[in-house]
Each structure stands twice: as structure tokens, then as C-alpha cells.
Amino acid sequence: MARVELRNLSKVWDSSVAVNGIDLSIADREFVAILGPSGCGKSTTLFMLAGVYMPTGGEIRFDDAVVNDVEARDRNVGIVFQSYALYPNMSVLQNIMFPLRFQKVDNPEAKARDMADLVQVGELLDRRPSQLSGGQQQRVALARALVKRPNLLLLDEPLSNLDATLRLTMRSEIRRITRELGVTTVLVTHDQLEATTMADRVICMRAGQIEQVGSAEDLYLRPETLFVASFIGSPPINLIAGEGRNGRVEAGDQRIETGQDGQLTIGIRPEMITVAETGLPGTIRVVEAMGREILYAAETNFGLIRFLEATSQPRWRDGDQVALAFQPEQTLLFGAEGKRIADHYAKLGVTTDA
Amino acid sequence: MTAIDWTALARRSRRRRSWSTGVLVGFLSLVSIPVLLPFFWMLVISFSARTGGVDSAVLWRACAVLVPVTAAYVALHAFRPWPRSYSAVACLLAAGLGLWGMVGDDLHLYNYRFLVTPNLIEELHGAATAGGQFPWVWTALGNSLLVASASTLLKVTVATLAGYYISRYQFRGRAGFLQGLLILEVFHPWMLAIPIFLVIYWVGLLNTLSGPILVLTAIDLPFFIFIMKGFFDGVPWDIEMSAMTDGATRRQAFYRVVLPQARAGIIAITVLGFIKGWEEYVFVTGLRTGNSYWVMSTYLYYVAEDVMGVDYGVVAAVAVIYILPSLILYLFTQKYLTQMTMGGVKG
Amino acid sequence: MSSSKFRQASNALLFLGPASLFLIGLLLVPIIVDLVVSFTDMNQTIKVDEFTTKQFRKLVKPSEEAWFGFELRSSFYRALMLSAIYVFFTLTIFNIGFALVLALTTTALPGRLGGLFRAIWLLPRMSPSVVYALLWLWVVDPTDRGLLNQILSITGLGPINPKLDAPIMVIVCANGFIGASMGMLILTSAIRSIPEHLFHAARADGAGGLSVIRHIVLPALRWPLSYITVFQFLALLVSFEYIFLIMGPARSTMTMSMLSYTKTLAPDTGSGQYAYGAAITLILIVIGMAVALLLWRLTNMKQLLTQPRIEVQ
């Protein structure tokens, strides 16, 4: 129902900069997620979209119109808070009907009941928020945000107060409901799985700036920066930092071919590493069973390197000698500023030091 | 869906925002004037009145300078085109220059001569009347300081100990003690003035400074115990437990770990207690302390009664000196006082 | 006695002993003393000759027609009515009404500005009572020196004498300017403790300023408002300090508590009719008990009595 555009948007609190000039456009009916660690400015951005915070600089545009000065009450946005922020003195029905009070609608109660049915809280309408479980409160908050058919739905860490199983169901529920209503949605979260499973596009933020915008696959396989590479993925990516000389990084008698010189960081995802006949020699130091997979960490000249094997019984024990191999095109190479050097892959070579 | 006119909405919001702040500030300034003006007048009188009369024109001329300057400061504050400190300095400068020009010639310190002249009041009103022989003001100041500090020390100590015990210890009758305290909290001190007078009479403490000190300690106690209990309730159990696993006894844990955490509460009740003791009038007169000792409340009361027609300026100056310690204390500890109220009331 | 028992006893004595001594000696004992003295003929000499109900007979007289067979004597009836009027208007206009308005408006302003206005309203409470009363005397001075009359003379109106013409208004305002600040503080912190997200949610839901007050703020203030009402009702009922300091023993403002004060302890005018004063005090104590019970219901006893988690003495 609305296209949203941010142009050089920033927010400064007294002296600290929360959001530092971000540009972003969100298409109509798109579902985007803003992902980042706490304090990266993602919630501040969301509250500026809602009209709760006033931007210090830049522009927010809805359908090409600048709405910086439009108050929250006039923006027609729906918002779901981390704490749900249900009105404690009102019943579920009254909560859902609240936004309709301020609009001239025919038969608001019927609209509220329809919305309650859509989010499946139709039987709880007479209860108070304090009598609901976390998941139910979440659904009521969603219904309240959606009942007035907002231009834009904003979700601020909506799942972080739920337990793990409920989180899984609510993820697909929210996706279903927003798709059904065709509403433009912005989700703010620090949980990468939440962002990548729910959103069409993920915006990764850090320290008030956008690091990368892309699909889940983009962020995982083609991170633009060292920060994105290390923030996305669990268990985290292996990072080997070193000085490139003559096109390679060396440690002891082992070296990794990079084709690049200078301060370099080589990133290799744990699941891309296999144990082979020849490769980087290492000694197993950590063995962690993770259900269907086993996570190992082997000590090499380049430090501890984690790798995964999809077996239920450990193949290696503490102290075993292994040789680690990986495909060059599955590695990432980052330069001195933490930017990915796009056309270069790391190759592995082992010298025996003649 | 019809297209939304965002530009019109933005314009409306901007207008509404600037209006609402303006209306609120205007309203609050208007209702605050009656509260502030008398205090300001007292100050003006004390610095400008000469024997025999008050020139009220000084007040209005001073207001003519200060009101626009204050308004300008608030406006600068609200819209903030400049850094705050600049506008504050500029406004202070403007106020100073304005006052100098408008009323500078009328200001003098003559009314404050009672601070250095021991017999001033006696000379002013001639023969002694209701108040008896007036001492030098420093005697009254000293006695007030003694009453206020002694009662404050007592009630802060007693309330802190009791507040900690009922917050942190299990003992038989704890519920009963708390409920009793809740009832006693309701009994406003003034209500019990007569029977308290009788009790003090029977223990032979009428006509002393100890009488009001003890009574002042008792009457605020239920309230203060609740305040301190509230603050102690807010101290996490973990730090007390860890102090004890580190080898401290319970009393050491209280003294070294818990007490510093309740600092804000202690400051709050100290200030409140002191201001209460400093201003005390009802019990100082009721317990006949005034017969033998002068304190500031009775001093000002009788100065006002005896000298008012003769010399407004001196009365105002005494009042200014009397109010000063309370005011300074209040201004410096304001944030603690506002913190406390709910803690005490929540129960 | 085992050492732990001993420690328990010594702790109780150390922590609770002093408080108990003060509370019993100067609050509990006086209540009992008052109960006894009100049924005696004690006067200036502080001696008791006989036990009698004559103090109460000074307040009420038997009557065939009246309810309960008693009729209030005119002076007491007058005091009761004056108290009722004074308490009602001060409470509704200032201690609740203005307190609420001040709390709502100052919290709507940006932090420091709101704090400035709250500080101004706390000024009277922090000033010594004699100074505050003196200021009022100067404000309502009937000559053209009075601040009020100076302002009136600018508008061209003649001088007035509020102490004579509108005595109740004077004491309502004088007490109200002080009374409003207590409610203001309690309500301000109650408003502050409303989760910020609720305000944001309401705004995003389309609510304007007044709707936010009605649907978010006022529901959260129900408890503190009833607390203030009950507590301040009693505080005003028993208050006499400012009334006495401003009005003196004037008949026009002789409320119940003023009656008991001026007949006993008031400087210069008090005539030492202690038993009579005690009888009036007893009526106030009974009202106080009722208020305490009401307050009891408003207090979260369970929270108050949370169990301590360390058992070591």
C-alpha cells in the first residue's frame, strides 16, 4: 500500500549518533528485515518510520511525499512492540478496536472481530492482556496494528519474548498474515534466522549505518564486509587474519595462496571445510555434538579452525591429526578496511620448507 | 483508497506541535506567577525598602526587566537556535544590566544590618512587647540549627535501622509491625499535638530544646521508615548474599554493602528532615520551648508582629535569611526528593 | 539461650528498638492519653479531678427530635461545616485538581522545562511555614501595600480585604498552593512509570493528546489518585498551622482542628482547655482510624510483606 524511501536519514541524541545517514527504499508490499546487533540504530530507524522519533536530518518519504513532520497519529502505520504494549486497562476486543476510535469507520466492532479471527484470538476477546500468554499477547498486538489497514506495518523485535517453539510458529504466522493483507512490512531484529526466514530482503546495520542490503543468500554467501560475514552464520565463520606477501599468507611452514598482498582476512564457513587426504594439518581440540551435526575445532598454524560434519557420532577425538581442505571459490577474502575483495579467492598450498 | 495529502498533514502537525508547547508553557507560567511573585516581592522589599515604607514601584520595574528576559530565555530554550549555555549567559547578562539600569539605585543592604547589630530589633520597636527581649539573630539561628540537625540525625538513624530490619529480616510480628506502622503513618503530627504536649509535660521536658527534638523525631518516623524500607527493598538480594559468602556477617553486609546502595534514600530523608526541623513552629511554641529559647520561626513571628508597621525591610530581610538554608538545600538535592516520593507512598 | 537466639534478640533490639521506643512513646501513648483525657475535666493546671463526659456535652447536646438523639451545638456545628467546606475545596481544586493538571502539563513538556515548573510549585512546601504565612499576609494586606491590592489598583479596582471578605478563599489558596505539590510529585512519578511504549503505541494507533490522557494516563493514575485523596483529606482536616499563622484565632476560619488548637496550645491565645481539645482530637482520631482502614485497602499488602530471602541473623 505504500512505497517507503529513506534518504540520508540520521538521528542524533544529545551527543551520540544513533543513525548516521542511511539510504533505503522499500517497495510496496515488500517484507524487509533490519538486522543488526543491539545499539546499531535499527530500532531508532523503525521509530522514525513510525513518527515516534523525529529525524535529525534527511528525509522519510511515503509514496514520494516527505513525511518527516507528519505525526505518528497521521501516518497510518501499525506497530508491534517488543513488549507488545497492550493497554492493560482494556479488554482484548477494546485493544483491537482502539485504533478504529480515531477513524470514521462503519461497524468497528465487526472489523475488530474479523481481525481477531485472522490472528486466531477470536475466543479471547473479553480477556485482559494480563490474562493472556506471551504468544496470545503477540497475536493481539498484531491484530491491533493491522486493524486499521496501515500503509506500513512495523515490527520491533516481535518474537524475542517468546520461547523457541512458539517463535517458530509465529514466524510463519506473521508471514502468512502480512502476505494475506499485502501490507508493506519492516521487521527489526537481532536474530539472523528470523530475518532471513521471514523477509524478502535483509538490511544489515552496524553503528548507525547500513552495511549491506540483499537477500538472505546474498548476505550469507556474498557478504560485502567482514562485519556481515562474522555477524551472519552460526556457528560463526572462520576468520584468518594475516599479512599477504608475494600473493600469499604464511604461518610457519604452511601458506594460503591469496593472490593479494597487504593486510588480509580470509573467511571460510565451517560447513565448507572437509577433512581430506591432503590439506592444512591440524590437531582436533574441541568436539561438540550439536544434534545432527558435530562441530570440531582443530588447531592449525593459522589458529583454531571450526568445521562441521553431518554425522551423529563423532568421527574424531581430541588430539587426532586431520588435514583440512576447502574449495577456493567458497572462501571469502577481505582487505584492510574490512571490505570484500570480490574477484579473489584464497587457495591453499602447503609447503614442506625445503 | 483515496490519496493522502501528506503535505497538508505535515503542515498541520508542525502547527500543532509549536502550538501545544507554547500553550503549555504559557499556561504553566501564568499559574506559577502567583506562587513565585510573593517570594520575589519579599526579596525586593528586603533589598529596597527604607524605614517607614515600601516603594512598590521597584517591584514592578524589576518585573519589567525580568519577565521579558525570562520569556526570552524560555523561548531560546525551547527552540534552541543557540547552544544552551550561551543563551543562559546572555540572558543573565541582560537581566543584570537591566536591573542595574532600572532599579540599581534603589538597592541597598541596610535592612540586613540585623546580622551585625545585636540589639537592632529592641531599638526598632522600643519597649519589649509580646515577644519579650529579642536576642541577636544568631542565637535563634543557632538554636534552629541545633533542633533541625539533632532531630534529623536521630530520625535518619532510627528510620534507617528500622527500615532495613523490616525490609530484610524475618521476625515474629513483622506483619503486625508493618500494619501498625501503616496506621500510625496516617496520624498527622498536628492531630496529636495536645496529648504529645501532655506526655512531654509528664516527662518534664517542657521548656527545653530536647522536647521538640524528640517529638520531631517521632512524628516523621512512620513515613521515613516506609521510605527507607522502599529503598532497601530495591537493593538486590544478590549483593547481600555475595557479601555474606565472602565472609561478612549480616551486620557488616548491611553496613558495608547495603547501606551505600540506599544512599539516595538517606539523602532524601536527611534533607526533608532538616527542612522540617528548620521550619518547625507548632511544637516549638506548643511545648513552650519558646519561653526559654529563641528559634528562627518564633523570632520571625514576633519580629513580624512587633516591627511590621515600623520597618518592612527588616522583616523581609529576616525572612530571606530564614528561608535561605532550606532553599539552598532543596535546590541542590531536588533530584533525590522527587525520587523518594513514590518510594515512600507505594508501601 | 543459644547464640543464634541471642543474635536474633540483639538484632531486633539494635535495629527496631529505637524506632519502637519513639513510636510507642510519642505516637501510641499519646493516642491512649488522648482517649483518657477527653473524658476528664483537665484544664490549665493539668490536673484531673473527675472523669466526665462534659467535654463531649460541650460539642453535642441531647435532643428529642434529632437523629441518634443528639444535636450538634452551634459552635461545633459551625466548626464542622467550616472544616467540610475548607477541606472539600482545597482537596478538589488544588490537592487533586491542580496536582493532576500540573503533573499532566509538566510531563508533557521537555524534561528540564517541566522540572522547572515543578520546582516552582515545590517552593512553598520547602519554605518555613512562618515565612510562607508572612508572604500571604503581605499578599492579602488590606491597605494599598498589599500585593493583591497593588495589582488591582493597576486595573482600576479599589482595594479589597480578603481576610475579612473571603477568609475561606484565603485559607483554601494558602493551603492549596502547598497541597498541590505533593499530589503533583506522586502523579508525576506515576506518569513516568507508565511504559514509554504504551504512549508510542497509542500515538501510532492514531490517538491525539487528549485521547492519550484519557485512555493511557488516567487509567494508570487511578490508584495514586485514590491514595492522594484519602491521605490528603486527613492531612487537610487536621491542619491548622497556616490557618492560624495567617488568620489568627478569627471566627471566620475556626475549623475543627483550629478550635482544638486555639483552646489549648496556641501561643498567646491558647487557654489550656486540654480535655476539651482532647475531645475534639478524639473525633479526629476516629476519623483517622477510618482513613487508615481505607488506606489499608489501597495498599498492596502482599508486596509490602514480601518474605526476606536471607535467614541468617
Query: Are residues A138 and A208 both part of a single domain?
Result: yes
Tell me the sheet residues that pair with C165. none
Rounded distance, CA A83 to CA B121, Å?
A: 66
Domain range spanning residue B86? 9-108
Q: Is the pLDDT of residue B211 over 90?
A: no
pLDDT at A127 (0 to 100): 92
Rounded to whole angstroms, what are the CA distances from C200 to A183, A229, A231, B200, C114?
21, 34, 30, 57, 20
Q: What is the pLDDT of residues C232-258, one digit of tens each?
A: 888 898 888 899 998 888 888 888 888
Chain-chain contact of B175 with C177 (C-beta, under 8 angstroms): no
Residues A21, A56, single domain; the answer is yes
Contact state of A74 with B9 under an 8 Å Cβ cutoff: yes
- Among C209, C289, C310, whose Cβ lies nearest the Cβ of B241? C310
Residue B345 binned pLDDT confidence (cut-offs 50, 70, 90):
very low
Tell me which of A226, A253, A277 is where a domain ends.
Answer: A226
Query: How far apart, in whole angstroms, are the C-alpha atoms of residue A242 and residue A258?
Result: 11
Please determine, for residue A262, whether its predicted confidence score (pLDDT) is greater than 90.
Answer: no
* B/C interface, count of CB pairs below 8 Å: 285
Structural domain containing residue A135 = 4-226
B10/A68 touch (CB, cutoff 8 Å), yes or no: yes
Q: Is residue B196 part of a domain?
A: yes
Residues 6+ apart with CB under 8 A from A132: A92, A124, A140
A307 beta partners? A296
User: Strands A321-325 and A331-334, how do they pair?
Assistant: unpaired
Q: Do A67 and B10 touch (CB under 8 A)?
A: yes
- Average pLDDT value for residue range C56-82: 78
Say whether both A177 and A282 belong to one domain: no
Q: A313 and A206 share a domain?
A: no
Predicted confidence at residue A312, as pLDDT, reads 80
pLDDT value of residue B344: 39
pLDDT of amino acid C103: 92
pLDDT number for residue B150: 93
- Best B194, B238, B327 member to test C by mutation, with max C CBs in 10 Å, is B194
Mean pLDDT of chain B: 80
Residue B121 resides in a domain: no
Residues A154, A23 share a domain: yes
Going by C-beta distance under 8 Å and a sequence separation of 6 or more, which residues neighbour residue C306?
B233
Q: Centre a 10 Å sphere on the Cβ of residue C231 and count the other Cβ atoms it contains.
A: 22
Is pLDDT at B153 greater than 90 in this prediction? Answer: yes
* Least confident window among A65-79, A142-156, B308-322: B308-322
Taking an 8 Å cut-off on Cβ atoms, the answer to whether C295 and B186 are in contact is yes
Same domain flag for A206 and A110? yes
DSSP annotation string for A331-347: EEEE-TTSBB-TT---E
User: How confident is the model at residue B201, as a pLDDT?
Assistant: 87
Domain boundary among A200, A226, A252: A226
Q: Are residues A18 and A110 in the same domain?
A: yes
Cell numbers found for residue B101:
539600569
* Same domain, residue pair A220 and A310: no
What is the Cα–Cα distance from C80 to C192, expressed in whole angstroms?
38
How many Cα atoms within 13 Å fall on the side-chain side of residue B30?
7
Q: B2 in a domain, yes or no?
A: no
* Domain tally, chain B: 2
Q: Do the beta carbons of residue C263 and residue B191 sit within 8 Å?
A: no
B80-95 mean pLDDT:
72
Please give the CATH architecture assigned to the domain spanning C75-270. Orthogonal Bundle (1.10)
Instruction: Count other Cβ atoms within 10 Å, centred on residue B212.
Output: 29
Q: Which residues of A touch C204 (CB under 8 A)?
A: 50-52, 72-73, 75, 77-79, 145, 154
What's the sign of the alpha-carbon dihedral B77, B81, B84, B86?
negative
Do A222 and A257 lie in a common domain?
no
Which residue in C has a C-alpha nearest to residue B176's C-alpha?
C305
- What's the average model confidence in pLDDT over C11-18? 86
> Does residue B273 lie in a domain region?
yes
Q: Are A44 and A53 in contact (CB under 8 A)?
A: yes
For residues B316 and A4, what is the distance between their CA atoms, to the nearest angstrom?
Answer: 65
Which of A226, A260, A291 corresponds to the end of one domain? A226
Task: Give the pLDDT score at A141.
Answer: 93
Domain count, chain A: 2
Rounded to 5 degrees, φ, ψ at A307 are: -150, 155
CA angle in degrees (0–180, nearest 5) for A171-A30-A186 = 60
Q: Are residues A213 and A242 in the same domain?
A: no
B116 located within any domain: no
Q: What pLDDT score was predicted for residue B53?
A: 60
Q: Is A175 exposed, middle or buried (0-12, 13-18, 19+ CB in 10 A)?
A: middle
Tell me whether strands A31-35 and A201-206 are parallel, antiparallel or unpaired: parallel
pTM assigned to the model: 0.85
Q: What is the distance, to the nearest Å, from the Cα of residue A262 to the centroid of all Cα atoms in its chain?
A: 31
ipTM: 0.87
Average pLDDT over residues A297-322: 88
Q: Tell me the β-bridge partners of A309.
A: A294
- For chain C, the chains sharing at least 3 beta-carbon pairs closer than 8 angstroms are A, B
C19–B37 CB contact, under 8 Å: no
CB contact under 8 A, A71 and B7: no
Partner-chain contact A65 B13, CB within 8 Å: no
Percent of chain B with pLDDT over 90: 7
Q: Is the pLDDT of residue A54 over 80?
A: yes
Q: Is A212 helix (H, G, I), strand (E, B) or coil?
A: strand
A321 three-state secondary structure: strand
End-to-end Cα distance, chain A: 69
Residue B342, pLDDT score: 45
**Sequence-separated (6 or more) residues with CB below 8 Å from residue B340:** B227, B264, B265, B268, B269, B272
Residue of A nearest to B15 (CA): A69
Contacts of C200 in chain A (CB under 8 A): 47, 50, 52, 72, 79, 81, 85
Q: Give Cα separations from A295 to A281, A303, B133 (angstroms).
A: 17, 16, 93
Residues B185 and B270 in one domain: yes
The three cell numbers locating residue B143: 538554636
With CA atoms as reference, report the closest residue to A147 among C201, B13, C218: C201
- The DSSP output letter for C2 is -
Do A35 and A202 touch, CB atoms closer than 8 A?
yes
Residues A295 and A177 in one domain: no
**Contact at CB, B54 and C131, closer than 8 angstroms:** no
Question: What's the whole-number average pLDDT of chain A?
Answer: 87
- Whether A140 shows a pLDDT value over 90: the answer reads yes
If pLDDT is split at 50, 70 and 90, which confidence band does B161 have? very high
| B28 and B143, same domain (yes or no) | no
Q: What is the mean pLDDT of residues C64-81?
A: 79
Q: What is the DSSP string of A112-127?
A: HHHHHHHTT-GGGTTS
Neighbours of chain A (3+ CB pairs under 8 A): B, C
Q: Are residues B205 and B75 in the same domain?
A: no
Q: What is the pLDDT of residues C2-13, one digit of tens each?
A: 777 888 888 888
Work out the pLDDT band at B101, boundaries 50, 70, 90: confident
Nine-digit cell string for B123: 531599638
Distance CA B227, CA A233 (A): 51
The answer to whether residue B218 is domain-embedded is: yes
For C49-62, b/e burial (b = at least 16 CB within 10 A) is eeeeeebbebbbee
Residue B68 in domain = yes
Q: Which of B334-338, C44-48, C70-74, C237-241 has the highest mean pLDDT?
A: C237-241
> Quick check: B125 pLDDT over 70?
no
The residues spanned by each domain of chain C are: 75-270
Does any CB of chain C come closer than 8 Å to the CB of residue A51? yes
Per-residue pLDDT, C304: 65
If asked whether residues A129 and A19 sit together in one domain, one would say: yes
Query: Which residue, B315, B228, B330, B316, is CA-closest to B279?
Result: B330
Judgement on whether residues B146 and B282 belong to the same structural domain of the protein: yes
Enumerate the residues of chain B whose CB falls inside 8 A of the CB of residue C311. Answer: 170
- Portion of chain B with pLDDT greater than 70, in percent: 86
Q: How many CB atoms lie within 10 A of CB C211?
A: 17
- Give me the pLDDT at residue B107, please: 76
